Amino acid sequence: MPSRDKEAVQAAGKGLLDYIGGVMEEADWGGFVELADMVPQVDRTFLTGAGRSGLVARSFGMRLMHAGLPAFIPGETVTPAAGEGDLLVGVSCTGTTGYTEYLARRARELGAKVIVITAEAKSPMALGAHKVITVPARGSNIVVRAAVFEHAASLCLDAVFNILVDRLKIDPASLRQRHANLE
């Protein structure tokens, strides 16, 4: 690889890392603390999003499972019915993703609490949520903006997981025991 290409890729990566860091400085950390407070109190947590935001939601669901907390992904064949006492966490940069917005609305109709993690606090999905947690990625380039949102949201949710592990006094051995082993 020519040195010029390596430098360009490295500079682009550094620029993204700086952008992500700035977004995390402005993230709604109080909202993430509220999420950490709520997750152990609900019967089940359902996690949703579309595209890469969906992968962020699924990753957090996997971590909740590692912590021994009941977490489910809507649309999977083993996902139970949602209702009162449950929580749906929807992840969407724009807050307008049709599938995620529909599931948030449906979860509310069924009596579940809805938390939306988004960059757009006044989006349709956010306006119908019980709680909105902002990860304020901004910019006119939606691809870069969404990528930064997804990385920052993922890091914020990993922080929530770390807090849950500490609060619930989960030892590393039990985390390893629940980690996938059919690989």
CA distance 164 to 4: 44
54 neighbors 91 (Cβ within 8 angstroms): yes
Q: What pTM was estimated for this model as a whole?
A: 0.94
Q: Which residues pair with 117 in a beta bridge?
A: 91, 133
In this prediction, residue 182 carries a pLDDT of 86
Nearest CA among 132, 161, 144, 157 for reference residue 20: 144
Domain that holds residue 162: 3-175
The amino acid that residue 1 corresponds to is M
Domain count, the chain: 1
Position 183 in a domain: no
Nearest CA among 160, 150, 182, 181 for reference residue 67: 160
Q: Give me the mean pLDDT over the 31-51 stretch.
A: 98
CA distance 48 to 89: 6
Position 20 in a domain: yes
In this prediction, residue 1 carries a pLDDT of 57
Whichever domain contains 60, its CATH number is: 3.40.50.10490
Position 13 in a domain: yes
Query: What tens digit of pLDDT does each residue of 84-124 get?
Result: 999 999 999 999 999 999 999 999 999 999 999 999 999 99
- pLDDT above 70 covers what percent of the chain? 99
User: Is the per-residue pLDDT at 52 higher than 60?
Assistant: yes
Catalytic residue positions, numbered: 150
Positive or negative: CA dihedral 81, 129, 44, 71: positive
Position 180 in a domain: no
DSSP secondary structure letters along the chain: --HHHHHHHHHHHHHHHHHHHHHHHHS-HHHHHHHHHHGGGSS-EEEEESHHHHHHHHHHHHHHHHTT--EE-TTSTT-----TT-EEEEE-SSS--HHHHHHHHHHHHTT-EEEEEES-TTSHHHHTSSEEEE-----S-HHHHHHHHHHHHHHHHHHHHHHHHHHTT--HHHHHHHS----
